[in-house]
Chain A
Amino acid sequence: MKKIALVLFLLSGLSVFADDNVLIEEQSIQSRINNCAMKILNANKISKPVVFVYDDADKKTKLKLDTTLTKRQVVVYKYAYKHIEDENELAAFLSRRISIALRSFDGVFGGFLRSLQVSAAPKKFEMVADKRAVDFMVNAGYNPVALITYIQKTSPQRRFDAVSNHNLTSKRLATIYEYIYVKYPYYLKNNEYIDNENYQNFLLTSRDNRRLLQEKIMTGSGEKLKYE
């Protein structure tokens, strides 16, 4: 009986120790997220309050509301976090979410109407969020090419987007690439991600779209490209 009691005592001690470790790990992740996010807010002079929280749930359940627009609270789920390989990619993820959260401050009824617009037309604001994220990252000293590598590995490519609420991932990536090429060519000329496997995969899968952009640049055309 004494032996069983001793084993139970030891096991309970181990479980408390394991809980502490999980808590310490989560605190460290939360602190990393906060530091990066606040740097983006400060560097971009964003005077609207946005908060950030790490959630160890794998991803948002379908019935749960996205708090980015309702509470201006960016939730970083485990699924998103586990794909983040460096600070630039963390900044890429957070910058996109900040850009969406900021839309909920504008307009009438304390931003309610604007939030409704973003929810009603996510496809329209998806690319806007991507572009704003690039600007936010550059202002905060991060490399915007990381937005390409992050989206490349996390956003699945749909079959078509004509009747979808979202754009094709390849279109988004090509648009981001063009935006960086036009506004911040330094990061493509001195590309730190050129030997990154995810970026290489982007180069491989975006050949046709990059060819379109090349033709546009060579001819000096100003028309909007129809990426595939």
Chain B
Amino acid sequence: MCFRACAFVEDEFVNATLKWKEIEKPKANLEYNYQNTKRIPIKMKILEPFKSEKELYEGQIIEFKTVEPVVYKRHILIPVDSIIKARVETIITNGMNGIPASVILGNFEAENIDSKHLTNYYEKFGFDLSLLVFPLKWALTPLPPTGSLTNFIKGGHAKIKKNKEIVIYYYPY
């Protein structure tokens, strides 16, 4: 049940920018069968490495290259050096108390493979300093305000180096 407005206002911004564009409805993943427990790793390396999440923006497409062929039932699904695309879904900036930044990559696309058979998302975290910060904060609490000063320690930036091997999975169900 929803309550209907009597005389509704149009979203002029959407009308002005999207009205004439042809946009397909995003595909939902509603046909699944999780009986099969098999998963095949896809090992890959980034083409253009980044040192910080600040170099990225949400919606950006990032490219990876497979480092070895992906084989299923003696058949090469993805040859070595194939391009796999991913989209930057969400960027989480680093924060106080040593909280690291992270980048969530999703919408993986490989040639000849339906995306719904691939890992849904992969999250790359920066260096987590909160393991150090929280005990330090608690230890310094009897000496105010030194405990609060640990708030200002920031976590590491999310980065993917050139040689960092990223592993996602192909689920052949």
Contact = CB atoms under 8 A, between A and B. Distances in A.
Interface in B83-127: 89-90, 92-93, 95-97, 99, 104, 106, 119-121, 123, 125
Given A121-B97, A128-B90, A140-B28, A135 B106 contact: yes
Given A85-B2, A116-B134, A191-B11, A121 B95 contact: yes
Q: Which of B26, B59, B97, B106 has the most CB of A within 10 A?
A: B26
Contact of B8 (A86, A188, A194, A213): A194
Nearest to B59: A182
B106 A120 contact: no
Interface string A137-161: 0111100000000000000000000
B23 A139 contact: no
Nearest to A88: B2
Nearest to A120: B97
A113 B128 contact: yes
Interface stretch (A6-14, A69-77, A198-206): A198-206
Contacts of A54: none
A125 B75 CA distance: 43
Interface of A is mostly: helix
A135 B58 contact: no
A210 interface: yes
- In the complex, which range does the number of interface residues on chain A fall in? 35 or more
B14 A86 contact: no
Interface stretch (B29-37, B43-51, B66-74, B158-166): B29-37
Contacts of A85: 1-3
B9 interface: yes
A204 to B, nearest CB: 7
Nearest to A214: B13
Contact of A213 (B13, B93, B171): B13
Given A116-B134, A189-B23, A183 B59 contact: yes
Interface of B: 1-5, 8-11, 13-14, 16-19, 21, 23-26, 28-30, 32, 34, 57-59, 89-90, 92-93, 95-97, 99, 104, 106, 119-121, 123, 125, 128, 130-131, 134, 171
Interface of A: 39, 42-46, 85-86, 106-108, 113, 116-117, 120-121, 124-125, 128, 131-132, 135, 138-141, 179, 181-186, 188-191, 193-198, 200, 203-204, 210-211, 213-214, 217, 222
The 3 closest A-B pairs by CB, nearest first: A141-B28, A195-B8, A189-B18
18 contacts: A85-B3, A106-B123, A108-B131, A113-B128, A116-B134, A117-B97, A120-B99, A125-B92, A186-B24, A188-B14, A189-B23, A191-B14, A194-B8, A194-B10, A195-B5, A195-B8, A203-B11, A210-B13
